[in-house]
């Protein structure tokens, strides 16, 4: 990925302190344009994921990103009860945060939001990005149906003067 780090979306990774995250998982995150933030405690991971969600919602409101939330990646954790409780609460309060797990160094969705996110990413990957040389609109001069009609006098008046009724030559109010 050639994106600057500041342009990447933050993805929270919950992993135990004594077990480093597999570098290939980081690579998988990077391929998606996500920057990992590793947390070792489920409470802190949930708080951080909620913060990222809030931030991205705000940025989406400012139309500065797509609104897609990377979410939370769960590596095997020594406190499964806490992780289960966290997932239950997240499903209840913030179901829109995608939750993922890792399998063979790849991300696998754990909830519906992650499945939807995955599908969106797959779809976006198949959309061909137009090059800078590609014109935004192709006009075929030979196609008569597409030839623009000349504007009427009334329409010109409306465009120039924002008047619905064009001035009449015999109108005493007009100069």
Partner 1 sequence: MTGASSSRSTRRRILTVGEVPMAESGPDGPQPVANIFEALGEVAVAPASSPIDAVVLALQTDSDGADLVRAAESIRRLDPTVQIVAIVDEPPVPEIQPHVDFQIGRPVTPATLSDLLEGRVPPGQSSPAAPESDIPVPMAHDVAPTPEMDLESNKGEGGFGDTDLVEALLYSPGNLRERAVHIIEQQTGLSEIRLQDRETPNSTPVRFAGRTYGHLVVSSGQAVDMRPWANWLARWVALEDAQATLRQMAYRDELTGAWNRRYLNHFLSESIEESRRLRRQLTVMVFDIDDFKSFNDQYGHDAGDIILRETIRLLGSVIRTGDRVCRVGGDEFAVVFADLEAPRTAGSTHPDSVEKIARRFQAQIARMRFPRLGLQAPGTLSISGGLASYPWDAAEPAGLLRIADQRALESKRRGKNFLTIGPGASFTNEDDTPPSPTGPPR
Q: Which residues contact 44 (CB under 8 A, 6 or more apart)?
A: none
Give bridge partners of residue 99 from the DSSP assignment. 72
Closer of 89 and 163 to partner 1 (Cβ): 89
**105-133 CB burial, b ≥16 within 10 A, e <16:** eebebbbebbeebbeeeeeeeeeeeeeee
Q: Pick from 23, 62, 149, 153 the residue near partner 1 by CB under 8 A.
A: 62
Chain CA centroid to CA 48, Å: 19
Structure tokens of 42? 């489920």
Site map for partner 1, 90-129, x if CB under 8 A? x-xxx-----------------------------------
Q: Does 38 bind partner 1 (CB under 8 A)?
A: no
Span interacting with partner 1, options 43-51, 103-111, 121-129, 160-168, rule CB under 8 A: 43-51
C-alpha span between 80 and 42 (Å, rounded): 10
Closer of 40 and 116 to partner 1 (Cβ): 40
C-alpha span between 99 and 111 (Å, rounded): 6
Rama region for 162: left / alpha / beta (φ>0; ψ in -120 to 50; rest) = left
The nearest distance, CB 40 to partner 1, in angstroms, is 10
Q: Does 37 bind partner 1 (CB under 8 A)?
A: yes
Provide the pairing of β-strand 106-109 with 9-14. unpaired
Q: Does 65 bind partner 1 (CB under 8 A)?
A: no
Site map for partner 1, 5-34, x if CB under 8 A? xx---x------------------------
- Residues forming contacts to partner 1 in the complex (CB under 8 A) are 5-6, 10, 35, 37, 41-44, 46-48, 50-51, 53-55, 58, 61-64, 82, 85-86, 88-90, 92-94
């Amino acid at each position: 990925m050639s994106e600057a780090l500041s342009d990447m979306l933050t993805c929270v990774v919950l992993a135990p302190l004594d077990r480093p995250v597999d570098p290939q998982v980081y690579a998988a995150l990077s391929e998606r344009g996500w920057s990992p933030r590793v947390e070792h405690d489920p409470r802190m991971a949930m708080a951080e994921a909620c913060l990222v969600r809030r931030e991205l919602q705000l940025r989406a409101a400012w139309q500065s990103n797509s609104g897609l939330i990377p979410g939370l990646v769960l590596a095997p954790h020594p406190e499964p009860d806490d992780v289960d409780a966290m997932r239950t609460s997240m499903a209840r309060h913030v179901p829109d945060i995608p939750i993922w797990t890792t399998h063979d160094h790849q991300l696998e969705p754990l909830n519906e939001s992650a499945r939807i996110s995955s599908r969106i990413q797959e779809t976006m990957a198949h959309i061909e990005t137009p090059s800078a040389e590609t014109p935004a609109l192709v006009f075929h001069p030979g196609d008569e149906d597409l030839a623009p009609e000349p504007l009427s006098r009334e329409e010109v008046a409306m465009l120039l003067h924002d008047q619905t009724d064009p001035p009449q030559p015999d109108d005493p109010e007009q100069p």
